[in-house]
Every structure is written in C-alpha cells, then in structure tokens.
C-alpha cells in the first residue's frame, strides 16, 4: 500500500511538472512581431525593446548568472561585441536573476551590454523561454534575433555556448545581404 501511494504521489508531481512545462508559452516564430517588454538592467536602468527600433537586437535568454555555460556564452558575446556593433546589433541578455546578481556577473566578467532582470519570468514566458518547475524557475537558453523593424528574424532553440556569437554574426551577414 505504501508503494502504491508513493507511486501515485510521483505520478501526480510529474503530471504537475509536465503541465507547467507544457504551458511555458509559445515561441515566437520568424516574421512575427517580437513581444515588447520593459525590464531593469544590472544598473537598475529600464530598457524597453522599442528603444532598439531601427537596430538588430540579439535577445538572448540564459538560465543563471555566473554558471559555466552562461559565462561562456556571455563572454563570447563580449569578445565579439565590436563585430556585432559594426553590424548594427545590440546584445541584450535576459534571465530571471535579480539586478544585484546581474551587476556582480557583469562586473566580474566585464560585460558591456545590458543584462535584464526578468524576476517574475513574464518576459521569458512570452518568448516561450521560461522553465517553471514550481520552486525552481529559470530561462531556457534561447536566442531571438530581432530585425530593425521589430520582427523575429531568427530563433535559436539549441545553442552551443562556445560558438553562438559567431553563429549570430554569420546569420547577420546573410540576413543583411538580403
């Protein structure tokens, strides 16, 4: 009887987790308008997507400040920022960490671009990038390339952190040539 109750509890918890994962939100597709937002950066300054109208935006969601994959990805964007800027692109990172955590992360790795604090996860959810496991919530490692007209140009759902910024640069070259 105890085994039956334990198994039933496991199935209930798994079902609840699956429901939360399944309803994390739809991922915007190329050609659709990028969902707007206003979020604070690591310095407390508010950033709205609309501020970047007329520019390409590399909007990347990441799970957690100062973890190995997130650090590698952020530092790659930092190292390639001059090439991205020459192409008219603004890099913007988003996670559910708070502004203090972002400030420490940005300072430690000399990250010169905004890291936005989506503490309640609403923006990540609108981009289909929120993984909500109840007590544990974080952004999935998704990137959206937003064109100067504010539309999604490309979606990256599988990201290799070591070469992601180079991939973005190559895609921007192709897209700008069109």
Max distance between CA atoms of the chain, in angstroms, equals 67
- Cα separation, 178 vs 163, whole angstroms: 23
- Cα separation, 113 vs 116, whole angstroms: 10
- Cα separation, 47 vs 39, whole angstroms: 5
Q: Is 70 a catalytic residue?
A: yes
- Which of the residues 49, 70, 74, 94 is marked catalytic? 70
Q: Kind of pairing, strands 152-156 and 137-139?
A: unpaired
- Spatial contact of 83 and 104, defined as CB atoms under 8 Å apart: no
- The alpha carbon dihedral of 43, 67, 83, 140 has a sign of negative
Helix (H) or strand (E) segment spanning residue 5: helix 2-22
Residues annotated as catalytic are 70
């Amino acid at each position: 009887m105890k085994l039956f109750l334990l198994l039933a509890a496991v199935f209930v918890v798994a079902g609840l987790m699956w429901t939360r994962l399944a309803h994390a939100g739809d991922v915007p597709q190329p050609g659709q308008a990028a969902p707007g937002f206003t979020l604070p950066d690591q310095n407390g300054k508010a950033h709205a997507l609309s501020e970047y109208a007329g520019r390409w935006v590399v909007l990347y969601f990441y799970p957690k400040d100062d973890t190995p994959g997130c650090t590698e990805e952020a530092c790659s964007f930092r190292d390639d920022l001059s090439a991205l800027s020459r192409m008219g692109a603004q890099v913007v990172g988003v996670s559910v960490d708070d502004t203090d955590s972002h400030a420490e992360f940005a300072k430690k790795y000399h990250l010169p671009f905004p890291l936005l604090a989506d503490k309640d996860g609403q923006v990540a959810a609108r981009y289909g990038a929120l993984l909500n496991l109840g007590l544990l919530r974080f952004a999935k490692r998704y990137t959206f390339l937003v064109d100067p007209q504010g539309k999604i140009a490309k979606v990256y759902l599988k990201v290799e952190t070591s070469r992601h910024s180079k991939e973005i640069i190559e895609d921007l070259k192709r897209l700008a040539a069109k």
